[in-house]
Amino acid sequence: MPQVGDTINIPAGKVVIVTEDYVLNGFAYLRIWGKLKFQENNSTLKLGSSSMVWVYTGGTVEGGGSPSQKLKIGNNTVFDGNDAPIAGPQMANASGFSPVPLPVKFVGFTLSQKNKDVLIQWSTAEEYNANIYEVERSFNGTDWNVVAYVTAAGNTTSLTNYSFTDKNITSKTAYYRIKQIDLDGRFSYTPVRTIKTGNEAAEVKIAAVQQGKVLLQFPQEVKGVVVVRFISTNGQVAGQQTVSNPVGQIILNTDALKGSYVVSVNGTDVTAAKKVIL
């Protein structure tokens, strides 16, 4: 059963049915892509007063028609069985439910060089009402121009990858940023990324970006096969994957691994290692 401090996920297509009283006397984070349903009389789910409940697009909270069925945060009832179903996207704290647009959650934004081209790649873990991405470039860090428009996925809670290749960049330094524009016209920017062309000594970047996902970024193309090993704290190789002629951002699935590992990257012209928590 869930414990205080847990993140509780109800995936899309799954239904969790509450049939009795269940109390968590402390913080919990409840995320619903599927359905939370109250079925029996006096069935109650009570979370600590600082808890949060997110109902994502496609998710619902439903009652069975009895006011004795309650979802409570602290001492406040934020939903009972007589209420109309809660349909996402909405968020609740102790004050109750309110509709909210979920922000685009960027989990990767990288630049890589291949010959005279710059490969721009970015990934998102969540999108709500996203319309389009503008790729902006500057050669001095002040004056910006849009070099590409990329259509967004729109509404998704899956990992989504995007890319654009900026051709024939002759400047020694180039700056890039991504402008994300919602369907209602609101927008936000990523941080600025910088690439120095011709920098053959740039290091491979390694990061755990999401549960079960590790991001590798190769600033320049690496010729041949590169071996990626996942080494446990006792020195054992717990997993191994290979990639051929890698360049740019590569996301590896590591669903079978949980805990602390050293990610080791080895090829003819590249060596890198970093400790990550999966």
pLDDT tens, 53-81?
Answer: 989 878 999 999 999 999 999 999 999 99
Question: Taking all residues of the chain, what is their mean pLDDT, rounded to a whole number?
Answer: 89
Most confident of 163-167, 215-219, 234-238: 163-167
Please say if the pLDDT value at position 102 is more than 60: no
Residue 209 vs residue 33, higher pLDDT: 33
pLDDT band at 91 (very low <50, low <70, confident <90, very high): confident
Q: State residue 142 phi and psi, 5-degree precision.
A: -120, -50
Residues of the chain above pLDDT 70, percent = 96
- The contacts of residue 167 (CB under 8 Å, 6+ apart) are 116, 117
| C-alpha to C-alpha distance for 46 and 25, rounded to whole angstroms | 8
Handedness of CA 198, 203, 204, 210 (dihedral sign): negative
Q: What is the mean pLDDT of residues 31-45?
A: 93
The 10s digit of each residue's pLDDT in 107-135 is 889 999 888 899 999 999 888 778 999 99
Domains assigned to the chain: 7-99 (no CATH), 101-199 (2.60.40.10), 201-278 (2.60.40.3080)
Tell me, what's the pLDDT at 200? 56
Q: Which of 44-48, 125-129, 146-150, 215-219 has the lowest mean pLDDT?
A: 125-129
Tell me, what's the pLDDT at 154? 84
Closest CA to 200 of 266, 114, 274, 138: 114
pTM of the complete model beyond 0.75: no
- The contacts of residue 256 (CB under 8 Å, 6+ apart) are 239
